Homo-oligomer: A and B are copies of this chain.
Amino acid sequence: MPKKLPAAVCELLDRPVLAHVATLMRDGSPQVTPVWVDTDGEYVYINTAQGRTKARNLKKDALVALSIADVKNGTRNDLQIRGRVVEVTTQGADEHIDKLSMKYSGRAYAGWLAGAGRGKTSEVRIKIKILPEHLVGAAANIS
């Protein structure tokens, strides 16, 4: 069952700080990539495109971990999350990537892609819902 995330964790996740998500390859080895992230206060959400390594690894029930290091005024506000994927869906995924893109770049996703020189894309976006099971780090107030 989800629990309300601590306020400091939500505040960190509400800021445009890049997260790094670890997934497991088919052979059990880890893989890490940078992702945009947000939260509804209980679950953590990321968004990727069908066909990517990360998408193949992020099936329902997959074990994942996230790391965020917010470097601000010379101090580091770290958060590490371990959890599992509870839902993978295309439903609302385009709206979600636009929302994330606005948060991180100030532009809708198509505008961000254009700015990154990547032009239009035919990718199918997927939204991944993660249940945080373990929180560690300054932001989680657990040392």
Contact = CB atoms under 8 A, between A and B. Distances in A.
A67 B53 CA distance: 14
Contacts of A6: none
B34 A65 contact: no
Task: Work out how many copies of this chain go into the complex.
Answer: 2
Interface stretch (A16-24, A38-46, A119-127): A16-24
A105 B56 CA distance: 38
Interface in A9-30: 18, 20-25, 28-30
B30 A24 contact: yes
Closest 5 CB pairs of A and B: A22-B22, A20-B20, A32-B67, A22-B30, A34-B69
Interface of A: 18, 20-25, 28-34, 63-67, 69, 71, 74-76, 78, 80, 82, 115-116
